[in-house]
Structure 1
Amino acid sequence: MKWLQNGFELSFRIRPAGLALAALYAVACWATWHLSVDQFFLPAGIRVAALLLTPKRMWPYLILGEYAYFAQMRYPMIEDYGMAWVIVGSACLIPAVALIVHLHHKLMAFTTESWLLSIAASAALVATALKLGLIHMLWPVPPSMPFYTNAMLYVLSDYIAILTVAPLALLWMRRRSHYDWTTWRRHPTLAALALLGVLGALLILVSTQAHSARATLQLLLVLPVIALTCMHGWRGAAVGVPLMNIILSQTMPTTGFPGSFDETTFFTQQIIAITSTALIALGPRITHHYHQHAPAPMTASRASAFSRSAHLANEQDLRERALGLRQIADDIEEALGETVQQLKADGHEAPATDLLRAFSRRSRRFRELTSMVYPTELEHAGLYVALRAGGLSETWNASHRIVRPMLGGDPCQLSMGLQLAAYRTFAEAVSLFLKEETGQIQISARCGRYKGVRGIVLNVALLDRHRTLASRTMERAIDRLSARAHAYSGSVQCRGHRITMVLLDTAGEAERGTLPNERSDICVTPTRQ
């Protein structure tokens, strides 16, 4: 075969970014090793976090980085523990943990964040089994500590370290999810974080000989973490649990060397490990039920945005129809003009005049009806001009029941979508009053700002303040007007003789330019009409 005759070539590409990643990982493991003790081994957490954050194509560089980290640390141990243990013990840990992370890959996408506990427990157990198994197999003299005690220490040490670093990696992985981090500025959250800091400071100040006081303070660290979990779900646990573990590890009595061990703190850590597990498992459940039973602000905002988009799409369709009708009217006028000129040229002056007069009346009415399909005046002169000079105004005047509108503020500061929504809302509300109520009707509007957001308040009321709207009118008003009001984060209220509608321009600039030929720059409206 050709490949046997000519040989074969192995080629692979070395990425500079991969080498940088390997170096960064090795340095991170080396630095955290110096901050670790026997009962809190941070490199185990760095290993899992790096595998979670790094694409699988870059995992070989993480393996290279771990080999470099072990090489500088274990090379001096060759004489004491043998070459076989140094090579095999250094080579098998990260591939085993990488396999665990790989097997959990599907769970990360289709389940809640509690899969992190499965990874932490599996990685701690497998790493401990490999480390202790190879130690007892390859060391010339096995360790003096009983296997069961050593295994419990290693498992707890790795498990706590993973729960300290991996939740922070999970926060980074979910950074693009729709979550409002400004809620962390609220006073209860700040108080819980401050309490964590105060308890940590007290642990530093309390004497290492006061075992009872230290154990009490260490257990009290759980309380603010529980509060953060209740307030912010799994994100609260992902922030609180690492802070609690770091405070606990950095305030326990140590000799300053990696092999330090404190028996009192170890018993506290066992309780903390169980608590951390419960909080991280409970956090996703709190978040899940919160989203299921309490509509989030982000969900309401997206629903309003979808509703606004639907209304604007409908307005765009109506605009195109209105322009098409006007084009037809222009063509008819042009043809009629030619006919009139021909009649006059033939000496039929009177029929031409009568035809022109009759068509002018109908043409004006046609254009009024067309402007009610879509108010093009609104694009060029604003909402108030469209209300006072368009086809809607003519219809109102023909009813002889609408008194002079009271219009204040500058609607040209509002987005075109909001002005159109206000126009439609006004038209629907007045139409409802004309059909369901008797007597004179007063309409008013006021544009302005509310809590830094531009908006408009619309009122349609009976001129007789002593009358009350019929219940049927109120029910129909709520049914017909609420959709547009809610699309603009507003409301509809029926009180006494009036209906009040509020629309807020929460989308603002995002909606500007949605409709063609929007000319808010030349929209001129008096501040008071």
Structure 2
Amino acid sequence: MSHGIRWSVWLRHGAVALCYALGYALLRQVSWSHWVLFTGYRLSVLLLVPYRYWPALVIGEIGPLAYVSLSCLESFGWVWSSLMLVPPIALAMPVVKACRDRLSMIPARGPVRMGAVLICTLVISGLWSLMNLAALSVVKTPSNYPPIDYGVAAAQYFIGNYLGILTLVPLVLMVWEGRAKRAASWRVTIENALRGRLAIESVAFVLPALALLVWIGLEASSVGSRQVAQMLMFLPVIWLALRHGWHGAAVGGAVASIAVVVTMPELRDTSTLQAEVFVAFATTSMLLFGSRIAQLHQQKGHGGEPAEKSLDLARRIQAQCEAQLRQTSLGIELISETVHATEEMMFERLRQFRPQVDSRELRRRTTVTREQLFQLADGLNPVTLREQGLAAALRHGGIARALNSHRIGYWCRARGGVDQLSHPMQLALHRLVCEVVTHLCAAHSVGDLTVHLRSGQHAGRRWAVVRIDALFSADSGLLVRGGPLLHRLAATGLGMDAIRDRAALYEGTIKVHTTAHGECISMMVYDDEADSLEQVVLVERTTPEIFSFS
């Protein structure tokens, strides 16, 4: 058993070493003096591969280095070949480990710390450049070979390493961060990235602009024109960084560095080196700037959490208040039934002892009392809303009966998926309409009143719009004063401020417009009810149809 586990571990380490060696060898074929792409590959692997596989990476790099060392042994000497056997990845490991552990460069949760990544990049680029200079200083050269300018060589090595890292590492970290946030596979993460706005804008705008600059650089008749075209390639980096943060800077920097290298007329071209310095500086600045933008967005999101928690708390409290109103409504219904039974018993006894007494007036009054109790219970917990939904409650419920009793014309028009709104939202809209109707009828002589209700869904959020059109009348008798309408609709009568506060629980906005013959009040709310709001625990649930939120 232990022997099989040991073989499995060795096979995994061997596979890591082999894969790394193949990638290293392939990227070495597309690297130039000013653009050492395999250094970006080397650092990307160090950033993401677990520490237990680092020895395998060292062994995987020794293979290609040994091949280069042996191939150039006669040309450059055994000292140079010996130095070439030292794997640069091993020298970078202490720096990367320190940045990963102490600077939290790539946290398990949260965004990548681009400042720490750039510090690590600068240190490692300088370290690998010193290695290259050390190897160059001991290289065996022909007698007629011109003297080596170590200053120019150091600049070439550093810019080549640094730009090679900037080309690959931010892209790799961008994909890794997207996968970590969504907890998805690499394939799904890459597919989502290709379908995102950043990829679309890069293909639609950045690539054509860079292609034009590359064409200008290749067709330029003078060195100055080509250099201007190369330096202008930093513009897409800035544009993408301003729109998408450091992710945009990562994509723009990679594409711009490739475009600069494509326009390089020859190896070790000085003008291209200057353009690469400019693009590297622009990419570094935009990565830092974009990272800061991302941090500000994150802090803003955290700052909004208390407000969201307060809003959720207010909604839960409102749901509990609605549950208490349901219990009160149930109690009133039970009292109404008890009163009705008592009345019937009294009428039966009255017929037995005083058969000559006319009880019609008494029956009329008891009927009015039961009707008032029903209206009060229905205002607290609308029966039609509970049984048939919001549209039916607005058309045939307490609002329609109350306005009809006061000789006010009333219509309700509903369209869209109104019944698909959650029950708490339907109840909240019903309360809002009751408050607005009470406010309008108490402040003006309303002759006709129309409620327009519409609902829909956008970006995964369901919304509802209510518009109440009131036509004023010159008949002062239509002005409803005092509490009759408030009692029948269970409205507070606190005015527009209370209506705005109630709508704000659902991110709602209230607008009041004065028309030629009346007034129009419109509101828009969003239905983002949590499951906890739809399941309020009640003390008693004797009548599930009344107390259920669903």
Q: Tell me the TM-score range normalised by the shorter chain.
A: 0.7 to 0.9
What is the aligned partner in structure 2 of residue 194 from structure 1? 208
Instruction: Answer yes or no: is 1:27 the counterpart of 2:30.
Output: no
Deviation digits for residues 323-343 of structure 1, max 9, x if unmatched?
423443455466567766776
TM-score, scaled relative to structure 2:
0.71
**Structure 2 CA distance for aligned equivalents of residues 242 and 336 of structure 1:** 82
**Superposition pairs for residues 253-402 of structure 1, below 5 Å?**
253-254=265-266, 260-286=267-293, 313-314=316-317, 316-329=319-332, 331-332=334-335, 361-397=368-404, 400=406, 402=408
Match among 77, 81, 89 for residue 78 of structure 2: 81
How far is 1:363 from its partner?
Answer: 4.6
How far is 1:159 from its partner?
Answer: 0.9
Deviation digits for residues 25-84 of structure 1, max 9, x if unmatched?
333222211110122111211122223334xxx233244134213313324514543675
Instruction: Answer yes or no: is 1:415 the counterpart of 2:421.
Output: yes
Change (3 A) 1:194 1:506: farther
Instruction: Answer yes or no: is 1:463 the counterpart of 2:472.
Output: yes
What is the aligned partner in structure 2 of residue 71 from structure 1? 63
CA contact (8 A) 2:125 2:161 kept: yes
What is the aligned partner in structure 1 of residue 262 from structure 2? 250
Change (3 A) 1:305 1:348: farther
Mean Cα deviation higher: 367-376 or 230-239: 367-376
**Structure 2 CA distance for aligned equivalents of residues 307 and 123 of structure 1:** 48
Mean Cα deviation higher: 278-287 or 484-493: 484-493
How far is 1:486 from its partner?
Answer: 8.1
What is the aligned partner in structure 1 of residue 186 from structure 2? none
What is the aligned partner in structure 1 of residue 47 from structure 2? 52
Change (3 A) 1:350 1:199: farther
Secondary structure at the counterpart of residue 145 of structure 1: coil
Instruction: Answer yes or no: is 1:221 the counterpart of 2:233.
Output: yes
Mean Cα deviation higher: 214-223 or 277-286: 277-286
Change (3 A) 1:369 1:141: farther
CA contact (8 A) 1:230 1:283 kept: yes
Deviation digits for residues 410-466 of structure 1, max 9, x if unmatched?
56454135433321221221222244444546232142669897643312424249x
Match among 238, 245, 261 for residue 233 of structure 1: 245
What is the aligned partner in structure 2 of residue 161 from structure 1? 164
CA contact (8 A) 1:377 1:385 kept: yes
CA contact (8 A) 2:58 2:87 kept: no
**Structure 1 CA distance for aligned equivalents of residues 307 and 545 of structure 2:** 22
**Structure 2 CA distance for aligned equivalents of residues 378 and 93 of structure 1:** 73
How far is 1:103 from its partner?
Answer: 4.9
**Structure 2 CA distance for aligned equivalents of residues 127 and 194 of structure 1:** 35
Deviation digits for residues 63-110 of structure 1, max 9, x if unmatched?
413421331332451454367535544562342342343256435569
CA contact (8 A) 1:343 1:349 kept: no
Instruction: Answer yes or no: is 1:477 the counterpart of 2:496.
Output: yes
Change (3 A) 1:299 1:422: farther
**Structure 2 CA distance for aligned equivalents of residues 186 and 77 of structure 1:** 44
How far is 1:361 from its partner?
Answer: 4.5
Gapped regions of structure 1 (runs ≥ 5): 1-9, 255-259, 468-474, 524-529
CA contact (8 A) 1:372 1:392 kept: no
**Superposition pairs for residues 432-447 of structure 1, below 5 Å?**
432-440=439-447, 442-447=449-454
Match among 393, 401, 410 for residue 404 of structure 1: 410
How far is 1:221 from its partner?
Answer: 0.9
**Structure 1 CA distance for aligned equivalents of residues 435 and 333 of structure 2:** 29
CA contact (8 A) 2:36 2:161 kept: yes
Amino acid in the other structure paired with 1:206? E
How far is 1:242 from its partner?
Answer: 1.0
CA contact (8 A) 1:135 1:142 kept: no
Change (3 A) 1:377 1:249: same
Mean Cα deviation higher: 497-506 or 104-113: 104-113
Change (3 A) 1:94 1:299: same
Change (3 A) 1:482 1:335: closer
Amino acid in the other structure paired with 1:405? W
Secondary structure at the counterpart of residue 317 of structure 1: helix
Deviation digits for residues 282-310 of structure 1, max 9, x if unmatched?
33345566788xx99x999x999878856
**Structure 2 CA distance for aligned equivalents of residues 507 and 411 of structure 1:** 15
CA contact (8 A) 2:103 2:116 kept: no
Change (3 A) 1:76 1:129: closer
How far is 1:216 from its partner?
Answer: 1.9
Change (3 A) 1:126 1:367: farther
Change (3 A) 1:27 1:228: same
Deviation digits for residues 339-370 of structure 1, max 9, x if unmatched?
6677688787689x899876665454334333
Instruction: Answer yes or no: is 1:499 the counterpart of 2:520.
Output: yes
Mean Cα deviation higher: 325-334 or 274-283: 325-334
**Structure 1 CA distance for aligned equivalents of residues 149 and 502 of structure 2:** 72
Size of the aligned set, in residue pairs, is 485
Amino acid in the other structure paired with 2:57? G
What is the aligned partner in structure 2 of residue 7 from structure 1? none
Change (3 A) 1:163 1:140: closer
How far is 1:315 from its partner?
Answer: 5.3
Q: Which has the higher contact order (CA 8 A, sep 6+)?
A: 1
How far is 1:512 from its partner?
Answer: 13
Gapped regions of structure 2 (runs ≥ 5): 183-191, 477-493, 537-543
**Structure 1 CA distance for aligned equivalents of residues 365 and 17 of structure 2:** 88
Mean Cα deviation higher: 323-332 or 242-251: 323-332
**Structure 2 CA distance for aligned equivalents of residues 437 and 17 of structure 1:** 82
What is the aligned partner in structure 2 of residue 113 from structure 1? 114
What is the aligned partner in structure 2 of residue 470 from structure 1? none
**Superposition pairs for residues 446-457 of structure 1, below 5 Å?**
446-447=453-454, 455-457=464-466
Amino acid in the other structure paired with 1:500? I
- Superposition RMSD on alpha carbons, in Å? 4.8
CA contact (8 A) 1:63 1:94 kept: no
How far is 1:185 from its partner?
Answer: 7.9
Secondary structure at the counterpart of residue 404 of structure 1: strand
Match among 77, 99, 102 for residue 101 of structure 1: 99
Deviation digits for residues 184-210 of structure 1, max 9, x if unmatched?
48879933442123323444x426x74
Amino acid in the other structure paired with 2:83? W
**Superposition pairs for residues 163-178 of structure 1, below 5 Å?**
163-175=166-178
